[in-house]
Structure 1
Amino acid sequence: MTAPTLTPAARPTAPAALRAEHLSRIYPSGDGQVQALAPFTHTFPPGLTAVVGPSGSGKSTLLNLLAGFDTPTTGHVLIGDTDLTALDEAARADVRLAHYGFVFQNHNLVSILTAQENVEFPLTLAGMPPRERQARARELLAQVGLEQRGGHLPSQLSGGEAQRVAIARALARDPGILLADEPTGNLDTRTGERILTLLQQSAGAGRTVVLITHDPDIAALADQRLHVRDGVVTPD
């Protein structure tokens, strides 16, 4: 079965560019320090960028810095003209809500909410009226092939279905930036390919999609690749 086609939402302006400038992260460790990410400068273009490397190489550290979940030791993360690293946590949360969507390995759906309600959740945070957000959630669930599963709880969905709901939720506010952390890691090969196709389609709609993976076969399908080893990031 092929993945459904994601319909690009109309954009009044181009999505804000994502850029890392001299970005690094050092953690204290015992009496010393561990360099989790060496100084790194890169502009992430629209399209799919795969960040590939073995476990513990620094991939998740990079993603957390790009999202503003962690504070860099040096450097900056820029979203257009906004310096994410210069903002307090409340302001960073506002930037994430406006510009980012997230897909995690374990989907991170709210267990007590239905699939429909999970997709609506970021729209509720944004203050969208109930009728509009319900219509938007139904549209997105249809785009990922789950229009008949909107009333089901996450526990009633398969792993692949839950991950598709997570993608629909990530796209709810039509973000310019989509960060995906090993989104196929817990899925079988066929289901993983379906999820990857949805991410490729999202990138094809003009978004900047950053995909963390340890799988070189998945990375080979991206528009560009970054390799991380021992905290050092190098382009393909």
Structure 2
Amino acid sequence: MTTAAPSPVTSASTAQPALHALNLSRVYPSGEGQVQALAPFTHTFPPGLTAVVGPSGSGKSTLLNLLAGFDQPTTGQVLIGDTNLTLLDESARADFRLKHYGFVFQNHNLVSILTALENVEFPLTLAGLPPRERMARARELLALVGLEARGRHFPAQLSGGEAQRVAIARALAGDPGILLADEPTGNLDSKTGELVLSQLQTIARQGRTVVLITHDRDIAALADHHLQVRDGVVGVVD
């Protein structure tokens, strides 16, 4: 099966589906009853870079997991365009994520036995692109993050910042409308973290919705939109 190649990464993405959280909450059982990890929360995430800031254990990762469909909410819905992610079964959610989401984590999660180029190609293989098209796409994405000369290197041969930029390139492979980044600068020095953040800002300016989870208020201050999470309660800072 062949799939149409994604649009060039250098052109602005258009008509991307909006990301909505409607009365979203998550409660976990505990030995003493229940723990409210996320209080009911309604918000539309606009195109651009939204920073979600808060201390460890505040509920930031719970929010991201719900937005991604990795976890199911206790109440509420996650809508992406006309699709209710909450109503999809696990397999359908995985397929939807492959087409519409990109992910960057604190630990780059690159496959150690694949080169940088092959890591970027991997989601395109899952999407069914022919070898020549996915290689061209992967090379284009590595060039976008300034690593075209490192395509043959394995993750162990890359610096932390380079590996994280490869992870960003991989996240963009399917030209997703939504990119979720969970503490992507957390393991990096400040200069390298700023470079990674600059890449995320560039992605957001192309019309994508980028949600950045961070505990670093200096990083968060550079975003277009701001949310704060404390004790499971999300508030808009803008």
Q: Same fold (TM over 0.5)?
A: yes
Does structure 2 conserve the Cα–Cα contact (< 8 Å) formed by 1:8 and 1:202?
A: no
Partner of 2:27: 26
Match of 2:184 in 1: 183
Deviation string for 1:159-197 (max 9, x for gaps)?
A: 000000000000111100000000000000100000000
Q: What's the offset of the Cα at 1:138? A: 0.5
Contact 2:12 2:207 in 1 (8 A): no
Could you list the runs of 5+ residues in structure 1 that have no partner in the other structure?
Answer: 1-5
**TM-superposition CA deviations, 1:26-85 (whole Å, max 9, x none):** 001113110000000000000000000000000000000000000000000001010000
Q: Name the SS of the counterpart of 1:135 in structure 2.
A: helix
C-alpha distance in structure 2 between counterparts of 1:226 and 1:10, whole Å? 25
Secondary structure at the aligned position of 1:23 is classed as strand
The TM-score, its normalising length taken from structure 2, stands at 0.95
Letter in 2 for 1:36: A
Aligned 1:1-236 pairs, distance under 5 A: 8-9=10-11, 11=13, 13-236=14-237
Does the CA-based 8 Å contact 1:46-1:207 persist in structure 2?
yes
RMSD: 1.1
- TM-superposed deviation, 1:9: 3.3
Question: CA–CA distance in 1 between the matches of 2:228 and 2:10?
Answer: 29
- Residues in 2 aligned to 1:71 and 1:8: alpha-carbon distance in whole angstroms: 34
Deviation for aligned residue 1:10: 5.4
> Quick check: 1:48–1:208 contact (8 Å CA) kept in 2?
yes
Give the TM-score normalised by the residue count of structure 1.
Answer: 0.96
| Contact 1:137 1:172 survives alignment (8 Å) | yes
Percent of aligned pairs sharing the same letter: 80
In structure 2, distance between residues paired with 1:85 and 1:68 = 7
List runs of 5+ in structure 2 lacking aligned partners: 1-7
How far, CA to CA, are the matches of 2:177 and 2:11 in structure 1?
11
Q: Distance in 1 between matches of 2:40 and 2:72?
A: 14
Shift of 1:221: 0.7
Letter in 1 for 2:61: S
Supply the distance in 2 between the matched residues of 1:143 and 1:41 (Cα, whole angstroms): 34
